[in-house]
Structure 1
Amino acid sequence: MNRLFFALIIGLTGVCILLWLGFWQVDRLAWKEGVLAEIEARIAADPVALPETPEEERDKYLPVAVTGEIGEGELYVLVSRKQVGAGYRVIAPLETDTGRRILLDRGFIKTDKRAAARPTGAAKITGNLHWPDDRNSSTPDNDEAGNIWFARDIEDMARVLRTEPTLVIARQTSLADTGVTPLPVDTSAIPNDHLNYAITWFSLALIWASMTGFFIWRTTRQKDA
């Protein structure tokens, strides 16, 4: 009897803990979806003028409209697109009408288009300020000599292109037939795995309850026998 009571207590305790973790992840899912909705609304808002002194905490994802001259010189960030394959993000200098020199993420080209000429000169850019977090523990060091970058390290890119460390990721440009496909800012790179976590915890709760029930049933059968 004591053995069955102990098994029942352990079983119920485990199920309650696992269910609590599952419902906690459901709450986290609702919170994360709200955060993503706020970010998406901010990204799609009406563009404003480029702030005089952009700040990451205040201005991340801020939509801006910038007019200026796209300059010579490009940096190539190695990326991959689904159903397209490997390619590069093209980072170029942009000198604004107000005399500032900033970084412009023009978008995506395939690897075999790296040497192709792309139009420069006067352009109006609509995009978003961003401070991308591309680097993790497994990201290789950038090959500045070979001009192959594995992360958009803004400070280093600004040093190489002699700009201020301000990055605008293009959404639209007034230049026609640039040969570059814009990769605008979105929320796809922001992880949201809370639903999977919730399903995992609820599944474990079901398994735990089933194992507890099976143990009690088998123990009862053995006693009857």
Structure 2
Amino acid sequence: MRWIGLAFIGLGGLAVLLALGFWQVSRLDQKMTLLNEIETGISAPPVDLPTDPQPEADRYLPVEATGRTTGAELHVLVSTRQTGAGYRIIAPFETGTRRVMVDLGVVPTAEKDPMRPAQKLTVAGNLHWPRETDRFTPEPERDRNIWFARDVDAMADALGTEPLLIVARELDPGLPDVMPLPVSIDNIPNDHLQYAITWFSIAALWAGMTVLLGWRMAGRTGRKA
């Protein structure tokens, strides 16, 4: 009975662990396909702002618009490898017929104030609805104009715009001290390879422990005989 139990637990556990590893390999292939599609979409030729943009269908859509900032801004705390700590500058953007938001880029913390004056710009970038908020995200410190995530709906309400955000890739003319931080796939997690390696490593350890236990059981049986 002990051999049957060992085989059931050992082989059953190994099958489960290998299945999880191969599932992660499959997810890796799916994620790579998705990332390639996103990267292709991000770099496609820009179009005009859609009339009725959809957060899922139009996420990352390349657009170009000409209009004016208003001098108002929201400052979103951010830290990047390129710039270190700084603030994303989110500004209202009036195109003549619409009032949307533009993520102009990032400034160092020392350049947070004063805010940039109103000016005419042509913005090329991507529509985005960032998934940066959860129940642990602090509420914005509105009196200090410090936000901790890009919450499109909340920012639109604060600035009196459509809930539509263009993340700038290029600004014409450029803004002194503001570095565009365009949409990219760099911040989209893709940990499936590491997960697959982990599951396969555990499977190898499980198989080794099963063989070791079987060897010890065989030794005890031989001594009793």
Does the TM-score normalized on the shorter chain lie above 0.5?
yes
Distance 1:67 1:133, change over 3 A: same
Matched, 1:204 2:199: no
Could you tell which deviates more after superposition, 53-62 or 117-126?
A: 117-126
Matched, 1:164 2:165: no
Counterpart in 2 of 1:48? 47
Give the Cα separation in 1 of the matches to 2:119 and 2:195: 49
Are the equivalent residues in 1 in contact too, given 2:73–2:115 (CA < 8 A)? Answer: no
Counterpart in 1 of 2:29? 30
Distance 1:34 1:201, change over 3 A: same
Are the equivalent residues in 1 in contact too, given 2:129–2:152 (CA < 8 A)? Answer: yes
What is the percentage of aligned positions where both structures have the same residue? 48
- Measured after TM superposition, the shift of residue 102 of structure 1 is 0.9
Residue aligned with 1:58, SS: coil
Counterpart in 2 of 1:60? 59
Q: What pairs with 1:129-148 in structure 2 (closer than 5 Å)?
A: 129-148=127-146
Q: Which AA in structure 1 matches 2:17?
A: L
Are the equivalent residues in 2 in contact too, given 1:169–1:184 (CA < 8 A)? Answer: yes
Are the equivalent residues in 1 in contact too, given 2:55–2:128 (CA < 8 A)? Answer: yes
Counterpart in 1 of 2:176? 178
In structure 2, stretches of 5+ residues that fail to align are none
Are the equivalent residues in 2 in contact too, given 1:19–1:201 (CA < 8 A)? Answer: yes
Give the Cα separation in 2 of the matches to 1:4 and 1:194: 35
Counterpart in 1 of 2:8? 9
- Measured after TM superposition, the shift of residue 155 of structure 1 is 2.0
Counterpart in 1 of 2:91? 92
Residue aligned with 1:125, SS: strand
Q: Which AA in structure 2 matches 1:65?
A: E
Give the Cα separation in 2 of the matches to 1:217 and 1:223: 10
**Number of residue pairs the alignment of both structures matches:** 223
Give the Cα separation in 1 of the matches to 2:75 and 2:38: 27
TM-score by length of 1: 0.93
Give the Cα separation in 1 of the matches to 2:82 and 2:52: 38
Distance 1:83 1:102, change over 3 A: closer
Residue aligned with 1:33, SS: helix
Q: 1:215 aligns with which of 189, 213, 216?
A: 213
Q: Which AA in structure 1 matches 2:166?
A: V
Distance 1:83 1:93, change over 3 A: closer
TM-score by length of 2: 0.93
Give the Cα separation in 2 of the matches to 1:83 and 1:127: 19
In structure 1, stretches of 5+ residues that fail to align are none
Residue aligned with 1:141, SS: coil
Give the Cα separation in 2 of the matches to 1:224 and 1:155: 72
Are the equivalent residues in 2 in contact too, given 1:124–1:174 (CA < 8 A)? Answer: yes
Residue aligned with 1:42, SS: helix
- Measured after TM superposition, the shift of residue 186 of structure 1 is 1.1
